[in-house]
Amino acid sequence: MFERFGTNTRATIKAKEKRRIRQSTNSHRTSGSQRNIVSSYIADFKHDRLQEVLKKKLIDQYGIGAVKKEENYVDIKLERPTSVTFL
């Protein structure tokens, strides 16, 4: 694509300056909460609960050092000696 579209150095530098790395986390809220928007509703956090269950299973199988959660907007990252898996 570089050969086809070239590069705009100024835009590239600005994009790199804006880009930030999101660190992994080990905790997430998994219980419901009330949010006020136009009307009130209960957020269920099913996705976060599923992440927690999967993370625990992967840690049991591969160890705590191999599993990262919510790093650079990836739900779960599994790092093994020969591969990296994004879930």
Q: What is the pLDDT of residues 17-60, one digit of tens each?
A: 666 677 777 776 666 666 666 666 666 788 888 899 999 999 99
Check residue 82 and give its pLDDT. Answer: 93
End-to-end alpha carbon distance in the chain:
28
Tell me if 27 is assigned to some domain. yes
Q: Which domain holds residue 51?
A: 23-86
Tell me if 77 is assigned to some domain. yes
Number of structural domains, the chain?
1
Query: Comparing C-alpha atoms, which of 32, 22, 30 is closest to residue 69?
Result: 22
The identity of residue 44, as a single letter, is D
Check residue 1 and give its pLDDT. Answer: 45
Distance (Å, rounded) from C-alpha 12 to C-alpha 16?
A: 6
Tell me if 53 is assigned to some domain. yes
Tell me if 46 is assigned to some domain. yes
Distance (Å, rounded) from C-alpha 12 to C-alpha 8?
A: 6
Tell me if 64 is assigned to some domain. yes
Confidence (pTM) = 0.53
CA 23 to chain centre: 9
Tell me if 35 is assigned to some domain. yes
